[in-house]
Amino acid sequence: MAKQKGTIAVCLLIVVGLLAGLLVPGAAPAMAQEPVTIKAIMMQGGGWVGVTRELIPDFTAKTGINVEIEEQPYGALKDKAILEMSAKTGVYDIVVLDTAWLAEFAEAGYVADLTPLIEKYKTPVDGYLPPQAQACVHQGKYYALPFEIDTRVLGVNMEMAQAAGITEPPKTIDEFVDAAIRMTLDKNGKNPRDPDFDKDNIVQYGFVHTGLSGPYIALDFAPFMWGMGGDILRENGPKDFTVVVDSPETIAALTMYTELLTKWHTSPPASTTFEENQQCDVLRLGKGAMGILPSPSHAGHLNGSLGFEDTKVKGKFKFVPTPANPPNKPKTRTGIWAIFIPADSKHIDEAFQFAQWITTDNEAAVKYAKLGGASPWMAAWSHPDVTAVYPFLPEVMEVMLVSWAEPPIPEWGQIRQIFGEMASEALTQQKTPEQAVKDAAERMRQVLKDAGYPNP
């Protein structure tokens, strides 16, 4: 009997424990007063993570606030962040993400409106590169601070170009295709136009795709589409967008982009799975002549920035606007990784202090840029210490100042994903460019229709 009573007591204890756990989820032991630690989540492999870690001790010494960084792979980063923010767990105080999702997060109420804090701390937002700062604004309010520039440029290895008889980086799409073919060489030095070209023994690729399905290839292909007069959405007015991706111009651009790989072999076969770092590695090791690069960070990698000292092409690359056939103008998106502060963060003020310090403190921004980060703080780019290390900065600055802001609509992240899948399906020859574009347009229209747009 006593044994049974003991068992019953244990069962009851478990029941009480389970019920307490289920009904009082927020119960947590009281903690002694400790210095504030803010927790940030960033993309694994992003060059800026290592650079940020180098700067954290300076911030902690100045403010007493500790900063911890959690890294997640690109694919899991947004999913994890949005799950935590939607569940209001308050786990993260800083989320570093692409501004493609800014409108989505802002309208969902997942991220804090930083405008009051900008006023409180008198944040000098005018010191940021204007397009990159504007990408953090939604309906007149700042929902993030710009952190790491991701604007695309065309990188051209001028040593390889000159060896192929090309004296200037290509300006038009036609010049670009010609240059890509001429700079692709087999082991006998022949290019794909030569009847004896050996496509199984290529030693130098003319243009290296960033071909992984999704956002990667989307950002790689889009500049060519714009350069040939195509587009994804047409803005008719506020909250009124129409899908225009299924235009002859986009199909022509996708055909050209696909044929570079399938017909002319200007890109490594494995480039259909390349992320930006893998593409940059091919260029950095001297096996590729051209690529669409996130600037200026990957431009820095090619020139031997922190962690990339083994580069074989230091000083050989020139960075120029992406090519365009007249009357179209070079167009590249205003990519910017931004610092978001989740609305449920318990340390919004401290997180903002860090965001402001690392992006606007002159000393911090210069150190950040010198280490290979791509700070949006304009003064950093004209600082002599930085320009001495990166003499190409005026070239990339020119592109950054005229870059294009993505549509500030919550559906943009999904539209871009579909656009990337479209390009990948064509590049890997699962569909013809016509079919891929047609299918993608249908899916995009469904997204806009579901969201209530009047003329999808």
Contacts with other proteins by CB under 8 A lie at 4-5, 7-9, 11-12, 14-15, 18-19, 22, 75, 79, 82-83, 86, 104-105, 107-109, 200, 211-214, 268-273, 410, 414, 417, 421, 424-425, 427-431, 436, 447
Nearer Cβ to other proteins (375/414): 414
Query: Which two three-digit tokens encode residue 328?
Result: 């179209």
Which are the contacts of 265, defined by CB distance < 8 A and separation ≥ 6? 184, 192, 197, 199, 202, 205
Nearer Cβ to other proteins (107/113): 107
Phi-psi region of 86 (alpha: psi -120 to 50; beta: other; left: phi over 0): alpha
Nearer Cβ to other proteins (108/379): 108
Nearer Cβ to other proteins (82/117): 82
Query: Which two three-digit tokens encode residue 76?
Result: 């899991």
C-alpha dist (Å) from residue 96 to 122, 317, 367, 395, 416: 22, 29, 19, 26, 19
Bond before 327 cis per omega within 30 degrees: yes
Residue 224 CB, shortest distance to other proteins, in Å, is 18
Quote the CA–CA distance of 351 and 65 in Å, as a whole number.
9
Nearer Cβ to other proteins (56/108): 108
Question: Hey, what amino acid is at 42?
Answer: M
Residue 323 and residue 170 in contact, taking contact as beta carbons nearer than 8 Å: yes
Phi-psi region of 307 (alpha: psi -120 to 50; beta: other; left: phi over 0): left
Residue 432 CB, shortest distance to other proteins, in Å, is 12
Residue 81 CB, shortest distance to other proteins, in Å, is 11
Question: Hey, what amino acid is at 16?
Answer: V
Residue 267 CB, shortest distance to other proteins, in Å, is 11
Residue 379 and residue 127 in contact, taking contact as beta carbons nearer than 8 Å: yes
Nearer Cβ to other proteins (350/406): 406
How many CA atoms lie within 13 Å of 358's alpha carbon, on the beta-carbon side? 29
Nearer Cβ to other proteins (157/424): 424
C-alpha dist (Å) from residue 260 to 182, 265, 322: 12, 6, 16
Residue 157 and residue 289 in contact, taking contact as beta carbons nearer than 8 Å: yes
Residue 421 CB, shortest distance to other proteins, in Å, is 6
DSSP class of residue 194 equals: S
Nearer Cβ to other proteins (362/429): 429
Query: Which two three-digit tokens encode residue 272?
Result: 């259909």
Nearer Cβ to other proteins (19/362): 19
Residue 331 CB, shortest distance to other proteins, in Å, is 25
Quote the CA–CA distance of 344 and 87 in Å, as a whole number.
9
Compute CA 47 distance to the chain's CA centroid, rounded to the nearest angstrom: 12
> Could you give the 3-state DSSP secondary structure of residue 240?
strand
Residue 110 CB, shortest distance to other proteins, in Å, is 8
Name the helix (H) or strand (E) containing 157. Answer: strand 151-157
Residue 75 CB, shortest distance to other proteins, in Å, is 6
Nearer Cβ to other proteins (1/32): 1
Residue 154 CB, shortest distance to other proteins, in Å, is 23
Residue 103 CB, shortest distance to other proteins, in Å, is 10
